[in-house]
């Protein structure tokens, strides 16, 4: 049996939404290099909808695949829906992860939350 499911390998080898959004209005970064995982999410949100999302990840195969899958699951979705995305949903969409890799999907959930929190803060600061 392979280490990862075909879905994980597909998202790892052909990650979706890789890169940076220069005029992002929501940015979140979680994890730390000491532990070997960092995820950074960039979003362009208009009318409370995630119009675009991109990611940069330093990490193992499942971290990259989790980032890719998570961005795909929230792209074009209302902010309220993205807030509800769980690591469990990301793991299921990837047809499962090895037990010691579940934290990668947790990191993806946290990266999204962190970016949306940034978005909320920016709106508060701009007085909207």
Partner 1 sequence: MDIYADHAATTAMSPAAIKAMTRCMQEEYGNPSSLYRIGQRAKETLEKAREEIAAVIHADPGEIFFTSGGSESDNQAIRTAAMAGKRKGKNHIISSAFEHHAVLHTLDRLKAEGFEVTLLDVHENGIVHPEELEAAIRPETCLVTIMYANNEIGTIQPVSEIGKICREHGVVFHTDAVQAVGALAIDVQAENIDMLSASAHKFHGPKGVGFLYARRSIQLVPLISGGAQEKGKRAGTENLPGIVGMAAALKESAAERKTEAARLAELRDLLISGLNEIPHSALNGDAERRLPGNVNFCFEGIEGESLLLLLDEKGISASSGSACTSGSLDPSHVLLAIGRVHDVAHGSLRLTLGRENTREHVEYMISAVKDVVAYLRSFSPVWRDLESGKTPHLL
Residues of this chain that bind partner 1 (CB under 8 A): 9, 12-13, 15, 18-19, 29, 33-40, 55-61, 63-64, 100-101
| CA proximity to 36, closest of 70, 63, 16, 71 | 63
Eight-state DSSP code of residue 18: B
3, 13, 20, 35: which is the annotated catalytic residue? 35
Minimum CB distance to partner 1 smaller for 100 or for 127: 100
8, 26, 104, 115: which is the annotated catalytic residue? 104
Whose tokens are 């960039």? That residue is 42
Q: Say if residues 65 and 16 touch (Cβ distance below 8 Å).
A: no
Residues contacting 51, CB < 8 A, separation 6+:
44, 45, 76
Minimum CB distance to partner 1 smaller for 1 or for 33: 33
Minimum CB distance to partner 1 smaller for 27 or for 49: 27
| CA proximity to 113, closest of 53, 28, 16, 25 | 28
Known catalytic membership, residue 35 = yes
Known catalytic membership, residue 51 = no
Q: Just list the catalytic residues.
A: 35, 104
């Amino acid at each position: 049996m392979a280490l990862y499911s075909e879905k994980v390998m597909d998202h790892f080898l052909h990650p979706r939404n890789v890169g940076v959004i220069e005029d992002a209005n929501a940015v979140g970064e979680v994890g730390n290099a000491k532990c070997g995982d960092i995820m950074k999410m960039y979003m362009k949100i208009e009318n409370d909808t995630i119009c675009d999302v991109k990611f940069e990840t330093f990490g193992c195969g499942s971290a990259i695949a989790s980032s890719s899958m998570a961005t795909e699951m929230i792209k074009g979705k209302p902010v309220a829906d993205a807030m509800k995305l769980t690591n469990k949903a990301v793991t299921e969409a990837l047809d499962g992860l090895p037990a010691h890799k579940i934290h990668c999907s947790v990191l993806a959930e946290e990266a999204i939350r962190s970016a949306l929190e940034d978005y909320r803060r920016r709106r508060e600061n701009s007085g909207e």
